[in-house]
Amino acid sequence: MLKVGLTGGIGCGKSTAVQRFRELGVPVIEADLIAREVVAIGQPALQEIAGLFGTQALQVDGALDRAWLRQTVFSDPVRLQQLESILHPRIRADILSKIAACSDSAYVIVDVPLLFEKGYTQLFERILVIDCQPDQQRTRVQQRDGSDDAVITSIMQSQLGRETRLQQANDIISNTSSITDFYEKIDDLNNQYLRISNA
């Protein structure tokens, strides 16, 4: 089974690509979803986070206070590293077990927004980058969730640079024109992955 890691900058169209691969019957594993599951109420990671950051890291109902945590670690590299040392080994282990569960499929897509940044490349045989122009990224994110320009800039700066990302990709889908064009490119790549897997 071919293992494909999917990534791309914010607003490039990763979610749309994931949706299309699902429509084509491809199993998709989402790292963001796993990241939420590992810190759910009752999970060991949540208890570790509360132990490290104190009860202010939790909401009244005992769930993780994401907004507080994001603000706390965003400006403090040491705290961020502590948080990631709790989360990433668990996320990685969960991704691997979910990949193993898809062994009957020709290939599997794993959507990891920070694939390069967090060292996930070695899990995959192919890296697929969804790409678009930086001004398109800004426009799409503003339209999608109303973020102001400063927030978008800080997110884009925290991600790997576009050129570096493209250099490390095995496959690139450019999402710069119509949705029809985007879907056609995904469909073509799906056929290519099926051929690689069969070979």
Q: Please tell me whether 132 is known to bind a ligand.
A: no
Cβ neighbours of residue 94 closer than 8 Å, sequence gap 6 or more: 34, 37, 38
Q: Which amino acid is at 84?
A: E
How many CB atoms are located within 10 Å of the residue 199 CB? Answer: 6
The reply, when asked if residue 197 is annotated as ligand binding, is no
Is residue 10 within 8 Å of residue 141, measured between CB atoms? yes
Q: What angle do CA 68, 115, 177 make, to 5 degrees?
A: 100
As a whole number of angstroms, the distance between CA 138 and CA 140 comes to: 6
> Is 16 annotated in some ligand binding site?
yes
Q: Is 98 annotated as a binding residue?
A: no
Does 102 count as an annotated binding residue? no
Rounded-to-integer distance, Cα 88 and Cα 104, Å: 26
Strand residues in 35-123 grouped as ranges (E): 107-111
> Of 120, 126, 128, 95, whose CA–CA distance to 197 is shortest?
126
Residue 14 is assigned to a ligand binding site:
yes
Q: Which residue positions form the known binding site for ATP?
A: 11-16
Q: Which residue positions form the known binding site?
A: 11-16
